[in-house]
Amino acid sequence: MKLWDKGFSTDKKIDLFTVGNDRELDLVLAKYDVIGSLAHAKMLHKIGLLSKEEIDAIDRELTSIAKLIEAGEFTIEGDFEDVHSKIEFMLTEKLGDTGKKIHTARSRNDQVLVDVHLYVKDVLKMIKDMVLEFFDLLMKLSEEYKGNLLPGYTHLQVAMPSSFGMWFSAYAESLIDDIYLLNAAYRISDQNPLGSAAGYGSSFPIDRAFTTSAMDFGELKINSVAAQMSRGKTEKSLAFAMSSVAGTLSKFAMDICLYMSQNFGFVSFPDELTTGSSIMPHKKNPDVFELIRGKCNKIQALPYELTLITNNLPSGYHRDLQLLKEGLIPAIQSLKACLEMFSFSLENIQVNRNILDNNIYDYLFTVEEVNQLVQNGVPFRDAYKIVGEKVVKGDFKPDKKVMHSHLGSLGNLALDKIQAKMDKAIKL
């Protein structure tokens, strides 16, 4: 069944090419198609285009379909082009002419727009919850290991003292930036496009404020053409926000891969969270974190894939937009899996508490000595030269006491302020 069926058949090759894997991808949108259809039907009843008996019957059947979807029993067979045609067929099969009336004053264009907006809103809520859960874990680890020093690097060269507390809370605070982008994407998706029809509105006296409230949208996408142009922009806003989260996870995963190697030995994990080699019995490979790194790098390419699909399209609907789902929906599942596995693995991290006992890290403390000389009245440039000469001659003997006290330093992580910052961000 095709919603645009005019009584003649389409060549099977054309059908296969144009539909592609839309049926499988549309299964994730089915729940939202029901929500949008019910809101639209109630609006049609409100303006007198559906009777009380008709809206009651449609409500009953859509509720029944929603239960099938929730139970995982809803399917889109090959006879149907997409989720929209399947749901309308089910209504018509049960209700006859009443089912045929539900498409009054809407197009498949604004129907899929509504589905995508509702779906993206739910996805963003889910990702925010998972990011917050990961943040809480990092903050807990930061507090637990704030007294354990860790080498800091620039150019991958030993630089200055850091700490595990600083490392964990650095990634925790970076997640707040990701939350800001998730919030921005939510604002974009939280606009009701229903009523824009094919992109130019309708001659029916529809009540768009009613459907906005019925579907719990924050506001209405007012201009019908602008509503249609939100297809692509909505998906890209989600993709950019996901890319930001993925960038944080990828960098963190790279740190862990580095720190797990024998050359560093800063952290380790239980054997059951690592993998081995087929020929080297000593190996404990960080496959989980390597895959998180790779998957998250792939997610970071998604915004550019969506941009290239949409960037030269004029206003109005174009079939190119169907392709957005092919990259976006699997990427959502991938990011969810990465967040889940990162949290699961990090719960079991084992920290080396005595890293700086090794004299290869002695030079971490050269800046500490320079600063001490400055505090004793030596000009900075002279102090720098004095310590530099000791390093060259091999005479440098570090004082491994670290006295950092300013806000955000390893001696003053200000975890309460980072927590307050996140609390504020998550409510925006």
Q: What is the pLDDT of residues 229-238, one digit of tens each?
A: 999 999 999 9
Q: Decide if domain 18-103 falls under CATH 1.10.275.10.
A: yes
With contact defined as beta carbons under 8 Å apart, do 110 and 121 qualify?
Answer: no
**3-state secondary structure at position 194:** coil
Q: Where in the chain is the domain with CATH 1.20.200.10?
A: 108-150+163-204+226-354
What is the reported pLDDT for 21? 64
Q: How many CB atoms lie within 10 A of CB 353?
A: 12
Mean of pLDDT values over 12-18: 49
Alpha-carbon span 314 to 387, nearest angstrom? 64
Side chain identity at residue 303, one-letter code: P
What confidence tens digit (pLDDT) does each residue in 134-148 have?
999 999 999 999 999
What is the reported pLDDT for 256? 96
pLDDT at 13 over 60: no
Prediction pTM value: 0.91
With contact defined as beta carbons under 8 Å apart, do 398 and 359 qualify?
Answer: no
Give, for 291, the enclosing helix (H) or strand (E).
Answer: helix 287-300
Mean of pLDDT values over 360-382: 95
Place of tokens 């005595």: 354
User: Which pLDDT band, with edges at 50, 70 and 90, does 276 fall under?
Assistant: low
Place of tokens 């693995």: 345
User: Which pLDDT band, with edges at 50, 70 and 90, does 18 fall under?
Assistant: very low
Q: Cβ-count burial of 207 within 10 angstroms (0-12 exposed, 13-18 middle, 19+ buried)? A: middle
Is the CA virtual torsion 250, 256, 260, 263 positive or negative?
positive
Alpha-carbon span 239 to 244, nearest angstrom? 9
Q: How many CB atoms lie within 10 A of CB 49?
A: 17
With contact defined as beta carbons under 8 Å apart, do 361 and 153 qualify?
Answer: no
With contact defined as beta carbons under 8 Å apart, do 257 and 286 qualify?
Answer: yes
With contact defined as beta carbons under 8 Å apart, do 387 and 373 qualify?
Answer: yes
Neighbouring-strand partners of residue 275: 285
Mean of pLDDT values over 366-391: 96
What is the reported pLDDT for 285? 79
What confidence tens digit (pLDDT) does each residue in 156-189 have?
999 999 999 999 999 999 999 999 999 999 999 9
Neighbouring-strand partners of residue 267: 351
Alpha-carbon span 10 to 414, nearest angstrom? 65
**Which residue has better confidence, 13 or 136?**
136
User: Which pLDDT band, with edges at 50, 70 and 90, does 129 fall under?
Assistant: very high
With contact defined as beta carbons under 8 Å apart, do 172 and 17 qualify?
Answer: no
Record: fold of 108-150+163-204+226-354:
Fumarase C; Chain A, domain 2 (1.20.200)
- Percentage of the chain modeled with pLDDT above 90: 84
Q: Where in the chain is the domain with CATH 1.10.275.10?
A: 18-103
What confidence tens digit (pLDDT) does each residue in 85-105 have?
999 999 999 999 999 999 999
What is the reported pLDDT for 81? 84
Place of tokens 């989600």: 238
User: Which pLDDT band, with edges at 50, 70 and 90, does 219 fall under?
Assistant: very high
Q: What mean pLDDT, rounded, does the chain reach?
A: 92
- Percentage of the chain modeled with pLDDT above 70: 93
